[in-house]
Amino acid sequence: MSRPASSLRAASLILQRDLTLAFRRPGEWLQPVAFFLIVTMLFPLALDPELSRLRALAPGALWVAALLSSVLALEFLFREDGRDGTLEQFALSGQSFAWLLLAKTASHWLLTGLPLAIAAPLAAVGLGAPASAIPGILVALLLGSVSLSLLGAIGAGLTLGIRRGGALLSLLVLPLAIPTLVFGARATAMAIQGEPAAAPLYLLAALTVFGITLAPLAAAAAVRISLE
């Protein structure tokens, strides 16, 4: 079997392993979704429940809550495998380390980013968004959550060897996530207003493709540094 095919097979096995382990500990991946829903539900309670005001604040509320929820789960991305030596075995396995970490990042997105994207339309309706805006909001959150997970993998790799590195992880990831936050909120706002949101969605897609191309390599380098 060729090395690329072997690395792809190893990555698929890691993805299956991480998903199996995660479903044995549901609290770790349900917590970010619960946090997202709670934060978005608090906005109508804290503000004047005027529909126009809620719609104006909905894009910012959705994306800030999604960003913070994504960061909340990043600390678990490499932590357990770093403690028990699994990451060291990955690095010494002879397989593409970037592919293996991409598989772990994909499992993180499936457990946190995808549920957040699915929950976002429900939260948006609670903030006064029309039903016609749901497809645009869903696409924006799907693209943006992938980008956030990829950025988070780099930050998680850099803070792997630091005890209680959650605060530092947030400081590293949040500034890098600003373009995703800006384009995602703009796409959501245009969807709520009934305007074509193709331009910001294309930019979100470009950020996602850029992240898929470079983030696994950067995460692999960061994890290697933390393991030394």
Tell me, what's the pLDDT at 199?
92
Rg of the Cα atoms in the chain = 18
Token couple for 125: 């309706």
Burial 91-120 (b: 16+ CB within 10 A, else e): beeebbbbbbbbbbbbbbbbbbbbbbbebb
Question: Taking a C-beta distance cutoff of 8 angstroms, is the pair 157, 219 a contact?
Answer: yes
Tell me, what's the pLDDT at 204?
94
pLDDT tens track, the chain, 228 positions: 455 557 788 888 888 888 888 888 777 778 888 899 898 888 878 777 677 778 888 899 899 999 988 888 787 788 778 788 888 888 888 788 888 899 999 998 998 899 999 999 888 888 888 889 999 999 999 999 999 999 999 988 888 877 766 677 888 888 899 999 999 999 999 999 989 889 999 999 999 999 999 999 999 998 888 777
pTM for the model stands at 0.87
User: Could you tell me where the DSSP H helices lie in the chain?
Assistant: 3-24, 26-46, 51-74, 79-83, 86-92, 97-108, 114-126, 134-158, 166-176, 178-192, 198-227
Tell me, what's the pLDDT at 1?
44
Instruction: Give the separation between CA 166 and CA 104, rounded to whole angstroms.
Output: 19
The CA angle 225-227-228, to the nearest 5 degrees, is 70
